[in-house]
Amino acid sequence: MSAAPGEAGTRRISAPDIRRRKADGKIVVLTAYHTYTARIVDDYCDVILVGDSLGNVLYGFDTTLPVTLETMILHGQAVMRGSKKALVVVDMPFNTYEGSKEQAFASASRIMQETGCGAVKLEGGVRMADTIEFLSGRGIPVMGHIGLTPQSIHTLGSFRAQGRDEAAQLIQGGNGAGPIEEDGRAVAEAGAFAMVIEAVAEPLARRITETSSIPTIGIGASPACDGQVLVLEDILGLLPRAAKFVRRYGELGESMRQAVETYAADVRGGAFPGPEHVYNLKIHT
């Protein structure tokens, strides 16, 4: 199923549709957090991810840890209102699922019920396998997320690429699976319909992609993955700094600056509002 623009009457893409897309053309994923951006992304992407990266991008936090379930639900609802075709996946924020399978089910079912989205995403491999199985077995499609998992920033220590030694060992002919490969296997076996692989060197991302039954969606994980995801504001050039793996497809930050600068100058100089922006009087005789 392709996500070409302008297809009339197409039903929304489901998690099983994405699961079946393994090795069947690249899966295109972008984040969106608002109704108006979702409208555009929906025309071109298979999956819209309402990522908890909104904590950094929209709210200016240094990490994603302060993002709450209520915030994710509000943005998930906004994205659902703006989209018709893409599968909408909403991130489960920190401290809403790691405590127990029951906590995860309570949070995920609220996200599904209150937003109407088609799936949730959660971070973690082997350690989250039981939870993924519990949710998947109870009607909640789960997208996994392995490699660099930003919610674990305080145990990882930095946002650096993960598993470089493990990837190097693969090239040198090592045949024992390392921890990230084990994570990929655990997520797939637990019943996730797809998994994000973040900031992982190509040999390792390739090996996980080739050996996994579910699609891998890479972000900084090479073209070997079955699909790609990036943060919309990164590709639009709205953020001052972007990671090595981002390609900027626009410079909207600069355009916004110019527009705001011109508006301010127009107001100060009296060029705005013009006569066309002024309401005419209706005089009744």
- What percent helix, strand, coil does the chain show, rounded to 5? 40, 15, 45
User: Closest distance between ligand KIV and the C-beta of residue 145, in Å?
Assistant: 6
Pairing of strands 142-147, 216-219: unpaired
198 is catalytic: yes
**CA atoms of 48 and 28, how far apart (whole Å):** 9
Instruction: Based on the shown chain and the rule CB under 6 A, indicate whether residue 91 belongs to the binding site for ligand KIV.
Output: yes
**CB nearer to ligand KIV: pick between 46 and 198:** 198
> Considering 123, 166, 198, 233, which one is annotated as catalytic?
198
Nearest to 108 by CA among 126, 89, 127, 124: 89
User: Closest distance between ligand KIV and the C-beta of residue 154, in Å?
Assistant: 17
Within residues 7-66, the interface with ligand KIV by CB under 6 A covers 31, 49, 51-53
Within residues 157-196, the interface with ligand KIV by CB under 6 A covers 196
**CA atoms of 119 and 115, how far apart (whole Å):** 10
* Interface pattern 211-250 for ligand KIV (x via CB under 6 A): --------x---------x-x-------------------
CB 47 within 8 A of CB 215: no
Distance in Å from the first CA to the final CA of the chain: 63
Which stretches of the chain bind ligand KIV, using CB under 6 A?
A: 31, 49, 51-53, 91, 145, 196, 198, 219, 229, 231
Residues tagged active-site:
198
